Amino acid sequence: MLIGIGLGPGNADLLTLAAVKALRESKKVYVPGKMAAELVAHYAKAEILDFPMIQDEAELSKLWGNNARIVADEAREGIVSFAVIGDPNFFSTFSHLRRTIEENHPDIDIITVPGVSSITAQAARTNVSIEGSFIVSDGSPIRTKIILKTKNPEKTKKELTKEGFDEFIYAERLFLENEKVTFDVPQKGDYFSMLVARRSKSMQTSQLRGKLYIVGIGPGAIEHLTRKAENALIESEYIIGNGTYLDQIAPVIKNSKIIRSGMGGEIERAKKAVELGKDHVVSLISGGDANVYGMAGLVLEVAEKAGSMDIEVIPGVTALSAAASLLGAPLVNDFAVISLSDLLTPNEIIERRLNSAAEADFAIVIYNPKSRSRRHNFAEAIEIIRKYRCDDTPVGIVKSAAREGETVIATTLGRIMEYNDLIDMSTIVLIGNSESRLWDNRIITPRGYQRKYDY
């Protein structure tokens, strides 16, 4: 048997009686360094196992393998201890040794004797009493949560599941009579109980490797956010986005670190997301759907150059879906979607596509009607479409769908330019074809917004 013993912060008076007993009963005691060896000296003769700080992973794993074999061979014959400063289960060399032995020598029984950890010992020296939740961090992602005072552990478990925790251990009356440690989380908790929540091994490895979510957050109001998007955001250590989008998802942000960038700066944002996403769980947010004139294209391009990494695009409600709902304009005939942003596509190509779509009698959906670089392309686009469509063709203008200032106008192609000043970078325009009837004015919504049917 192998016992991991915690020796406390380093002071001989802070060794526990249980630690002393275990040291005396061991036929062999190993320690990771001189400080532990000296503490142990009164009770047992300890041998130092060397764990040098080297970077070479292959070399390091060979070393751990060797040490694990030495300890395991002894532990097969009798009680062997590995004694560490502090507690053997908190940020300790022992955990690594334990994992290596469990993998390579699964026949060895392993138990631990707790020690006074530096985490609790510091309070006696700093005079800081902790009376509420606190975080102990070495900068790595949070994988374990220990919940005290769980009156209703089953309910707490449900809440933590939403945050990506998937392993739960309920512990009651630890080290006392009637001690209970179980995976079956009860509905009601004992006063002396706690719930330990973990993200499982598979989640841990994906966390270690990092994961980048490109999250479509929908057109505006938080109720359009999908459950999947919400889970990704909650799980993320970092959330990257521009100010407007971050404000939009503010109600669901919990412990994530926020990286805020201005409008524009897409390339810089994509690079940051890829860089962080290699080692951390990161969400890069994109308005509407990330695949529709959103961040997905750019990020995938940047990521390709940066080598392999784990990326998931989470679909969102695109502006077109929101606009069609608000207008009462279900798209039942074929339609063409065109972005007038000439940042990516040269203007001649946009014009050619408009001509083709209009001539082929597609209904036309216009994203980015007012591009950042050219002010007049919207008027030009309408001129092109008018060559092929009559003036009473139905037109819908939806500005700031599901956001403050939401405005819905149903009008006709002949009158659309009356609204030119209203149309901005947050507006989407739908233009019917020969099969379209006027958009349906029976649609009503409970929220007050500016709606106008102007045929």
Cα dist from 444 to 25, 149, 271, 289, whole Å: 79, 48, 43, 25
Among 286, 393, 407, 433, binds ligand SAH (CB under 6 A): 286
Question: Cβ 408 to ligand SAH, closest distance in Å?
Answer: 10
Residue 259 CA, distance from chain mean position: 13
| Residue 101 contacts residue 109 (beta carbons within 8 Å) | no
Q: Which range binds ligand SAH by CB under 6 A, 73-81, 148-156, 207-215, 282-290?
A: 282-290
**Per CB under 6 A, does 289 bind ligand SAH?**
yes
394 binds ligand SAH (CB under 6 A): no
CB atoms within 10 A of CB 18: 14
Q: Which is nearer to ligand SAH, 210 or 287 (CB)?
A: 287
**Part of the chain binding ligand SAH (CB under 6 A), chosen from 71-79, 176-184, 285-293, 446-454:** 285-293
Instruction: Walk across the sheet containing 80-84 and list its strands.
Output: 46-48, 28-31, 80-84, 2-6, 110-113
The pairing of strands 167-172 and 193-198 is antiparallel
If one asks whether residue 400 binds ligand SAH (CB under 6 A), the answer comes out as yes
Query: Considering beta carbons, is residue 92 or 407 the nearer one to ligand SAH?
Result: 407
Alpha-carbon span 345 to 339, nearest angstrom: 9
Name the residue whose CB lies closest to ligand SAH. 288
CB of 424 to ligand SAH, least distance (A): 8
Q: Is 398 in the site for ligand SAH (CB under 6 A)?
A: yes
> Rounded to an integer, what distance in angstroms lies between the CA atom of residue 123 and that of residue 261?
39
326 touching ligand SAH, by CB under 6 A: no
- How many residues make contact with ligand SAH (CB under 6 A)? 24
Which span sits near ligand SAH by CB under 6 A: 11-19, 143-151, 280-288, 372-380? 280-288
In 146-277, which residue ranges form alpha helices assigned H by DSSP?
153-162, 201-209, 227-235, 243-249, 266-277
Residue 377 interacts with ligand SAH (CB under 6 A): yes or no: no
Residue 248 found at the interface with ligand SAH (CB under 6 A): no
Residues 413-432 that bind ligand SAH (CB under 6 A): 425-428
Residue closer to ligand SAH (CB basis): 324 or 398: 398
The nearest distance, CB 430 to ligand SAH, in angstroms, is 11
Dihedral angle computed from the Cα positions of residues 163, 129, 116 and 67, in that order, rounded to the nearest 10 degrees: 40
User: What whole-number distance in Å separates Cα of residue 320 and Cα of residue 340?
Assistant: 15
- Least Cα distance to 450 among 408, 412, 415, 422 occurs for 408
Residue 407 binds ligand SAH (CB under 6 A): no
318 binding ligand SAH? (CB under 6 A): yes
Cβ nearer to ligand SAH, comparing 207 with 339: 339
List C-alpha distances in Å: 441 to 102, 164, 203, 291, 455.
68, 43, 49, 30, 11
Q: Find the binding residues for ligand SAH in span 292-311 (CB under 6 A).
A: 292-294
Q: How open is the CA angle 421-424-428, to the nearest 5 degrees? A: 115
Minimum distance of ligand SAH from residue 454's CB (angstroms): 18
Query: In angstroms, rounded to a whole number, what is the distance separating the alpha carbons of residues 49 and 110?
Result: 18
CA pseudo-torsion sign 29, 35, 39, 41: positive
Mark the segment that binds ligand SAH (CB under 6 A) among 145-153, 233-241, 252-260, 397-405.
397-405
Footprint of ligand SAH on residues 191-230 (CB under 6 A)? 219-220
Distance in Å from the first CA to the final CA of the chain: 85
The least CB distance from residue 403 to ligand SAH, in Å, is 5
**Binder of ligand SAH out of 288, 394, 396, 432 (CB under 6 A):** 288
Task: State the Cα–Cα distance between residues 297 and 314, nearest whole angstrom.
Answer: 13
Minimum distance between the CB of residue 181 and ligand SAH, rounded to whole angstroms?
A: 49
Q: Helices then strands (H, E): number in the chain? A: 14, 20
Q: Which of 319, 357, 358, 408 binds ligand SAH (CB under 6 A)?
A: 319
Shortest distance (Å) from residue 218 CB to ligand SAH? 8
Q: What is the C-alpha to C-alpha distance for residues 187 and 189, in angstroms, rounded to an integer?
A: 7
| Residue numbers at the binding site for ligand SAH (CB under 6 A) | 219-220, 286-289, 292-294, 318-319, 323, 367-368, 398-403, 425-428
